[in-house]
């Protein structure tokens, strides 16, 4: 390895002072953020909220200080179905209800994985990955489906938010510490007393976590009434629902009609094949998380087919890059760090996945698109960061940003061609636990 030479630094500094551009930048960065300084005004165009396909949707929601975007996006998708059937002008499903059981199931899933790996050393890569990750708020579409199919749904007023459900850092920290403590103790307990003692310890910890979640979120509803006012200001009330009967009446088997499609242009993932990720999930025994990998043009074609049928689209992307939250824009031309610094955010998409420069980390809903000569130029996005940002909580995504940073979308299986449907019936290739397609939206 070569160290930094002091003489080279002296040369670099001398060269730096010869260019007045750096003095201007240095002065500008005293009181301005880097991205304020490199905002590209020349590229501000087509940022108005006019779209050739613009699905009317309900008011935006707010995940607050939690990583539940995937739950918010999925319940936003489902509430449109319920609101349409009941002719409501606004409605929310309980995100807390889904999050409660997701966290409980994740703890069980993680503890079971640790038990499965009892014969591994503490620094085994798979065990280390599982213990390091612990449980968090994030998730994927199939994980949402797993929870809903097992536990059902309820309106938000049947299981409202608490301070803890909206700000999950402390409970996550406490739970994860105890998961790691269990991992540390389970191996010696197994060696001294056997697997029965390990399983007893696991069930004891799971019970304590359940009690903590009930303390933090409230007692999950066993029965509730569904009451609402429709668009004509007429009051309705239906008695005697359980979360599962509510789901059955208003959603039925709808969730099982939707599949995850991804765009992962890496050498290890040929297109038109399905993939799953080892140790990715929440509900033990549920359908495994499955992705159908397609080329980007095909992913857009499928998304457009669903939008044209007046149905919004759950999708996952990497929102770490090139976003202007004040204006509500994601556009890879919005900022220009290359001209002043010689540095940029341009990289082959496959390489960015392989070398961990980018991966899916946030889920939202696509609710509109602007088509010029049947080609998309911009997309309308329903986010879950509240209505005080962007355009009442709605965002614009440029089509070129979509190409680079959108990794996943969920579409109805009816839009797939026969080859794609056949691929879904094949046994998916199992990817390693740390594969970027196993990343969680939060």
pLDDT tens for residues 176-222?
A: 999 999 999 999 999 999 999 999 999 999 999 999 999 999 999 99
Phi-psi region of 124 (alpha: psi -120 to 50; beta: other; left: phi over 0): beta
Q: Strand 323-324 vs strand 375-382: parallel, antiparallel, or unpaired?
A: unpaired
CA distance 348 to 38: 22
Does residue 46 register a pLDDT over 90?
no
CA distance 298 to 416: 10
pTM over 0.85: yes
Does residue 251 register a pLDDT over 90?
yes
The catalytic residues are: 69, 362, 383
- Containing 315, the helix (H) or strand (E) segment is strand 313-317
pLDDT tens for residues 314-331?
A: 999 999 999 988 889 999
> Contact at 8 Å (CB) between 197 and 188?
no
Q: Which residues contact 207 (CB under 8 A, 6 or more apart)?
A: none
Q: What is the pLDDT of residue 14?
A: 96
Does residue 43 register a pLDDT over 80?
no
CA distance 243 to 154: 5
Distances (CA, A) of 282 to 33, 50, 104: 39, 39, 9
Say how many residues make up the chain.
Answer: 442
CA distance 44 to 136: 37
Does residue 42 register a pLDDT over 90?
no
> Contact at 8 Å (CB) between 353 and 58?
no
């Amino acid at each position: 390895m070569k160290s930094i030479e002091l003489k080279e630094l002296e040369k670099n500094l001398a060269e730096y002072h010869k260019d007045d551009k750096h003095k201007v930048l240095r002065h500008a960065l005293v009181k301005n953020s880097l991205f304020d300084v490199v905002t590209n005004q020349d590229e501000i165009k087509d940022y108005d909220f006019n779209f050739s396909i613009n699905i009317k949707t309900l008011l935006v929601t707010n995940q607050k200080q939690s990583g539940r975007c995937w739950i918010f996006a999925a319940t936003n998708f489902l509430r449109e179905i319920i609101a349409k059937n009941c002719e409501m002008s606004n409605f929310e499903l309980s995100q807390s209800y889904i999050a409660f059981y997701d966290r409980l199931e994740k703890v069980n899933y993680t503890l079971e994985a640790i038990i499965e790996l009892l014969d591994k050393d503490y620094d085994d890569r798979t065990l280390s990955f599982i213990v390091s990750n612990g449980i968090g708020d994030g998730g994927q579409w199939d994980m949402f489906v797993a929870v809903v199919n097992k536990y059902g749904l309820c309106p938000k007023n049947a299981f409202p938010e608490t301070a803890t459900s909206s700000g999950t850092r402390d409970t996550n920290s406490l739970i994860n510490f105890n998961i790691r403590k269990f991992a540390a103790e389970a191996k010696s307990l197994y060696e001294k007393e056997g697997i029965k003692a390990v399983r007893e310890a696991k069930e004891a910890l799971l019970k304590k976590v359940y009690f903590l979640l009930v303390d933090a979120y409230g007692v999950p509803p066993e029965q509730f009434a569904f009451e609402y006012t429709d668009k004509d200001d007429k009051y309705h009330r239906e008695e005697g629902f359980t979360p599962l009967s509510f789901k059955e009446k208003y959603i039925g088997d709808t969730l099982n009609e939707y599949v995850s499609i991804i765009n992962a242009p890496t050498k290890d993932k040929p297109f038109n094949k399905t993939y799953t990720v080892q140790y990715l999930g929440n509900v033990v025994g549920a359908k495994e998380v499955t992705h159908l990998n397609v080329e980007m043009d095909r992913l857009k074609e499928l998304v457009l087919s669903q939008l044209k049928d007046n149905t919004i689209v759950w999708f996952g992307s990497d929102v770490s890059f090139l976003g202007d939250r004040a204006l509500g824009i994601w556009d890879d031309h919005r900022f220009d760090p290359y001209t002043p610094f010689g540095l940029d955010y341009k990289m082959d998409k496959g390489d960015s996945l392989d070398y961990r420069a980018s991966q899916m980390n946030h889920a939202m809903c696509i609710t509109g698109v602007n088509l010029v000569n049947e080609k998309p130029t911009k997309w309308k996005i329903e986010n879950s960061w509240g209505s005080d940002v962007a355009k009442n909580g709605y965002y614009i995504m440029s089509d070129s940003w979509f190409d680079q940073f959108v990794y996943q979308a969920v579409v109805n299986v009816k839009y797939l061609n026969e080859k794609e449907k056949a691929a879904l019936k094949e046994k998916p290739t199992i990817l390693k636990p740390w594969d970027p397609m196993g990343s969680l939206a939060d």
